[in-house]
Amino acid sequence: MSNFDEFRFSFGNNPAEQKLQILRHEFLGKSAVIQGYAEILRQAFERPEMVQSADELKDSISKIIDSEQYIRDLIDALTISHNREKYGLPELRPYENLLDAIRVTAQKLALPLAEAVDDTSRIFICGQYPLVLRDEPKYHRQISFALVKSKFLVELFAFVENRMFQVEYEIVLSTLDDVAVVINQWLLEQRTLTQMQETYPLPKTDS
């Protein structure tokens, strides 16, 4: 998945002047990356004996491609308002931000989260992107939800000493329905960490 939806959610409603500043800052940063890796490739062609492996060249090419795509996604997200159907996860196209996506999805699934998400006595919104929600007022649970490549990354936090939160578990999900259910389970149903791990086990990796 492109970065389009992430940029749109983060900066889409910013004033035009701020968008221009964001574009300039990000473009200059990625331009430096492209120039740096292009120089590595130029030197490799001029002095091939200095190249340690083909993977080194492939990595430089990948960095250039990724940086160019990053700039393209940022420009599209900040300057074109009518192309939601062309980029990003299909499920996110109708929504203005992640909170809106979760609210509507919870309503569709008839989850208690649908009402709780707008009730500050039950859930406190700590951040918009990534979307960070905290249960209120007594259970000391927190959850973070963001887009990562073509999936949704959900991080479960628990309260520890000194009024700090730490990540207890990470879950990677493919649909908004699943995300809304997990948020409901962690913040409102107060499921234990063991229950969450049993329901959403980590993917198996090849040994």
**pLDDT tens digit sequence for 67-116:** 998 998 888 888 876 655 555 677 787 788 889 999 999 999 999 999 99
Pairing mode, strands 141-148 and 131-135: antiparallel
How far apart are the C-alpha atoms of 156 and 162, rounded to whole Å?
18
pLDDT for the residue numbered 1: 43
Residue 167, pLDDT > 70, answer yes
pTM: 0.68
Phi, psi of 155, deg, nearest 5: -110, 130
Taking each helix axis as running N to C, give the angle between helix 16-46 and helix 4-11, from 0 to 180 degrees, rounded to the nearest 10: 150
Domain chopping of the chain, boundaries: 4-88, 91-199
Length reported for the chain: 207
